[in-house]
Amino acid sequence: MIIIIVKIVVSLFLGTLAGFAAIYIFNKMPAKWLCDYGHAPSQELKDPYIQRVKGFPWRWIYAAGFICLLIRLSFFDVRLAAAGLFACWAMLIIGLADLKYMVIPDQFVIMLALSAFGFIPYHSSVWQPLTGALIGGGVMLMVAVLGGAAFKKEVMGFGDVKLFASLGLVLGIKGTVSVLIASSLFSGIFAAVGLASGKYRKDEVRPLGPYICGCGIFYIFAVWPFLL
């Protein structure tokens, strides 16, 4: 009973800290991190007082999500909870950046890739994460190249390729394939609904990062514990 109480208390503290830190870091990170290479930041991005994401209610919503993640994973394995928090925190920042600014910051992609070390004990072999990275990055690269050749324009940024390669290191083969299918399905559904409702234009490029990160977070939260 004492161990359970300790896990819950620690989860409450770390989850709240992670939720508040996500908002603070996103609002305070250098403006150039949220720009494509070779582009200068806008005045809005450089404004030190602007809230890129409002603190209320989002810091509390994210804190609640991280608390649930930590409580759930810690009852399976404390080390898995730590790795899951690290990975999901990075994916939250990436998803927000791509949703708001159509940019995937390399700094947090690297952070996501580094979190893969915490998942190594839960893979059957070291080839699982390496193959996952090859599948995720390879499929995205193929889509980018073939889509660009077919439509004569960029259909996917290289940030999505790097993001999926890093996520593949975390999830391994099964997780990478699952997230590939799920993110493609959900992005397709939302695009179809947006086009049908007139919210999206036919030639409009929409961010894929939020779907990749959302499905990745869900996989770690809901599916991974059952694989242990």
- Smallest CA-to-CA distance from 65 within 34, 33, 88, 38 is with 88
User: Rounded to two decimals, what is the model's pTM?
Assistant: 0.95
> Which has the higher per-residue pLDDT, 193 or 95?
95
Per residue, the 3-state secondary structure of 30-55, as one string, reads: CHHHHCCCCCCCCHHHHCCCCCCCCH
Integer Cα distance of 151 and 143 in angstroms: 11
Integer Cα distance of 140 and 104 in angstroms: 14
Amino acid at 187: S
| In contact, 111 and 83? CB cutoff 8 Å | no
> Which has the higher per-residue pLDDT, 178 or 194?
178
Has residue 219 got a pLDDT over 90? yes
Has residue 154 got a pLDDT over 70? no
How much is the pLDDT for 169?
97
Has residue 103 got a pLDDT over 90? yes
Phi, psi (deg, nearest 5) at residue 195: -70, -40
For residue 228, give the DSSP letter. -
Chain-centroid distance of CA 70 in Å reads 17
- Smallest CA-to-CA distance from 86 within 56, 46, 116 is with 116
In angstroms, the Cα distances linking 136 to 16, 83, 184, 205 are: 31, 20, 12, 21
Integer Cα distance of 15 and 18 in angstroms: 5
Q: Encoding tokens for residue 103?
A: 């940019």
How much is the pLDDT for 149?
66
Summary mean pLDDT of the chain: 91
Percent of the chain predicted with pLDDT > 90 = 71
- Between vectors from CA 204 to CA 141 and to CA 99, what angle results, nearest 5°? 70
Chain segment 7-17, per-residue pLDDT in tens: 999 999 999 99
Phi, psi (deg, nearest 5) at residue 135: -65, -50
Angle between helices 78-101 and 106-115 (to 10 degrees): 160
Mean pLDDT throughout 217-228? 89
Chain segment 43-57, per-residue pLDDT in tens: 888 888 889 999 999
> In which domain, by residue range, is 10 found?
2-227
Has residue 108 got a pLDDT over 80? yes
Q: How many domains in the chain? A: 1
